Amino acid sequence: MAAVMVGHRGEDSLPYGFGSRPWLFQMHGSKKSTCTFFDPINNSLEERVLPEFLQGKACLGFYQDWLLLADEQTTECFFLSITSFSKIYLPSFPVSPDFFKAIVSITSPPNTSNCIVVLVCSSKTFLLVSSPGRKMWKKVPLKYFKKNTGSLRGPSIIYNEQLFVMASMSVTLVIDVAPLIRGCVKMTVIDQLKPCPVPYSWHTFLVECAGDLFSVLVHSYGSRQLIIHIEVRRLELSCNEIYWRRVQDIGDHAFFLAGRSGRSLPANKARGVQRNCIYFPANNSDGARLYNFCLDDQVLNFTFLPENNGGLNRLQWAFPMKMMQTVEEDIFNSSDGMRSEETDSTVIGNEDENEVVSSRQWDELPIELVELLFPRLSLVDCLRLSSVCKGWSQASNFTRKGRVWPWLMHLPNLKYQSWKLFDPFCCEEYTLKSNAVVVARDHLALRFSKNGWVVITEGNKKVFILNPFTAEVINLPPLPLKDYFFDSISFTSVPTSPDFVVYGFFFQICGEFVEISTWCPGEEEWTVLEFQPSIPFFPSSNSPVLFQGEFYCLGRKGELGVFNPELETWNVLSKPEPIYPTEPRYGNEYCHLLELNGDLISVFRTDDTKQPIRVLKLDRSEMKWEKLEHLRGMTLFVDRRNSIAIRSPEKKYANRIYVPWFEGGMDSKKGIFYSMENNSYHPSMHRVEEPLTCVWMEPNLHLHS
């Protein structure tokens, strides 16, 4: 099909720098006569007036330099080159507004003879197919849905001359593209693309990269769609089967997701793009965010996109062919921490290689004087001090005397077989190697921590408890049922004590059924207790608190459920009265419960950084929640599942609530906290990093304790 040149080339409609790197752009159709451009590198927004022939058009897809546009009023449909500004026409678009939301797959540039366009509309059981030069769209029914319930769900992509499209129940349909133009369907089916075993929703994206096909699963939680897990799988083709296999990285490429489509780009082809990362925009209650998920360290970064009245609907990534060939510097910067050579599970810090100190001179210092230093030092500094010479390493209980506070522990890429630990007060991150780190075959989740021990679940069956510093591991029996999970988990005391018991809590989504599983060392399986309370209970995601011999669970309305392990009873208390009159939407807030100076404290926070955190104390004399204005020398640490309270080691850290976020980049990080003094987050929220699998834990370097 011959291209038609457009009179107005439209260079004035493109912002400066467009074409040198990936850009986000948004055409507003009949709502606005402008196009919005987002520069993700400079975090800037520009609004440009479109040439008259582009006004009222919606962008449905993108292939290299070609936009697929449709007019919402006239249904005119055509390709437009953003480099030559030439048009290639397609048949008029279907009148139904559903197809303006369709997912578009294109085989090749429209100026080639084998270009085929396929439209996939969610909830339909047919495809629409056409190509340049044809007079109409062909409706192609899929007989698969006559024998199977469900419909097309998207996304879709054309790979190796086949259309891959997701259907109900996460089934992937593989359809030969060439026969579709004649109305013929040749199809195979790939089994379910099973998500990670967490009870939350997910979105799937398909991306072609370096000759391979990948699926990206983005899992979200609650009504605010908070991102909790991202997983990448690659399509494996063998003589006997086709299946998806989980992978740990995407090499030197980066993925760019928007809407329901995805694209890839070598990181060295564009300025500011990091390798082995996934970029995508998403809405949040505090505004639109541009996320960057690094597969190496499993950390989710985000910056706030400039305010845009058009929202994120119809947002597309533009990859012009004339990309600058700027090669970015290697992002594999070494960690600030250095690994210990004495043991495979000891945190080590920075050392000055140019500083030479006589061990003989330091060794002569009386050990009694050295021991006076330990109570003034952090844990890491105690380790450094003890390694100065052999005599100092023999100081009694030097790690017990050091000042210890919670660190944020998170799991980077599994291939590194290591943990990352971030000290929020010293603003240093360490890598902890350990033979106890299991090379997992399934999704790992850090669920709870206490006394330096961390509860970890792998997939939907395996549970183990780990002290990452001593490398001690306690394996628990498999979970009671297939595809089972605990909403929350806790234990009574350190795992080496005789009264150690693990408790797992499961709450039915309707709130009318509670199942509590218990396990003691030596038992081969879980003991399951079932309760059907008269009062429904909708729990928060935070772990229960063992308080005065009973486990207290916080509900999303602020109510309390109590489990008595001695009597094996479960009750929902009539008081305190809920702080919300109606049930909040699931995931609307993070709700935390913890013990503070002999009182029960509840913390309610959202992902909206503009909203204040609410802290309440339970007045046990009247059994009601009272607002707490000050923490009185204490510091709180909260993540999605766990919470810890400590007396602040220094006055400057008091009256703060640390959240599982960092501010900064790879060279320097600062822990983000909420100040109870001025009711705001610090430091700035310009660039925020959040490990997706993390938990606050207090370091414990002592064996069997």
Indicate left, alpha or beta for 393 from its phi (over 0: left) and psi (-120 to 50: alpha).
alpha
420-429: pLDDT as tens digits: 899 999 888 8
pLDDT at residue 624, as a whole number? 94
What whole-number distance in Å separates Cα of residue 559 and Cα of residue 574? 8
Asked whether 128 and 137 are in contact (CB, 8 A), the reply is: yes
pLDDT at residue 509, as a whole number? 72
Question: Which residues lie across from 488 on neighbouring strands?
Answer: 505
Give the confidence band of 23 by pLDDT, cuts at 50, 70, 90: confident
How do 287-294 and 23-27 pair as beta strands?
unpaired
pLDDT at residue 302, as a whole number? 87
What whole-number distance in Å separates Cα of residue 356 and Cα of residue 696? 36
- On the question of a cis peptide bond just before residue 498, with omega within 30 degrees of 0, the verdict is no
Question: Which residues lie across from 391 on neighbouring strands?
Answer: none
655-672: pLDDT as tens digits: 999 999 988 765 678 999
Residue 305, token pair as written in the block: 């996109």
Helices assigned H by DSSP within 560-599: none
Smallest Cα–Cα separation from 145: which of 103, 187, 107? 187
Residue 500, token pair as written in the block: 């150690």
Ranges 308-322, 484-498, 613-627, 638-652: which has the least confidence: 308-322
pLDDT at residue 346, as a whole number? 42
pLDDT at residue 241, as a whole number? 79
Indicate left, alpha or beta for 249 from its phi (over 0: left) and psi (-120 to 50: alpha).
beta
* Residue 357: DSSP 8-state: -
In whole numbers, what is the pLDDT of the chain averaged over residues?
A: 81
pLDDT at residue 321, as a whole number? 56
Q: For residue 535, how many other CB atoms are within 10 A of its CB?
A: 13
Residue 569, token pair as written in the block: 């009873």
The dihedral through the CA atoms of 503, 594, 484, 565 has a sign that is: positive
- pTM (predicted TM-score): 0.81
Task: Give the CA distances from residue 80 to residues 25, 63, 104, 362, in Å, rounded to whole numbers and listed in that order.
Answer: 15, 10, 15, 75
Q: For residue 455, how many other CB atoms are within 10 A of its CB?
A: 27
